[in-house]
Amino acid sequence: MHKILIALATSLTLLAAVPASAQVGKAASEATDAAKHKLDEKRADSEAKKSGPVGKAVNNVKSGYHKNRAKASANKAKKSLKNAV
């Protein structure tokens, strides 16, 4: 988890240092969203293990939502980078 955050911070720092097009900025934003959703997915999975039956169901739904959002954000980031080239 810490490695993802460090890599994300490094990439954002590099993007800030180099003049970037709007598409590259959008890709960085989407990558950030994907990382946040991945962290929220892991958090919901962890809470589901500690919860009772109702809490498990709720947290499993949250986990599934964040998993889908992470994939969608990652795909948008890839598409933005492809359009930037």
pLDDT digits (tens, 9 = 90+) for 26-70: 888 899 999 999 999 999 999 999 999 999 999 999 999 999 999
Q: Using alpha carbons only, what angle is made at residue 30 by residues 27 and 36, rounded to the nearest 5 degrees?
A: 145
- 27 contact partners, CB below 8 Å, separation of at least 6: 76, 77, 78, 80, 81, 84
Q: How much is the pLDDT for 8?
A: 62
Q: What integer pLDDT is reported at residue 81 of this predicted model? A: 83
Q: Structure tokens of 40?
A: 């929220």
pLDDT per position as a tens digit, 1-35: 666 666 666 666 655 544 456 777 888 889 999 99
Residues 6 or more apart whose CB falls under 8 angstroms from that of 60 comprise 44, 48
pLDDT of residue 59: 95
pLDDT score at 17: 46
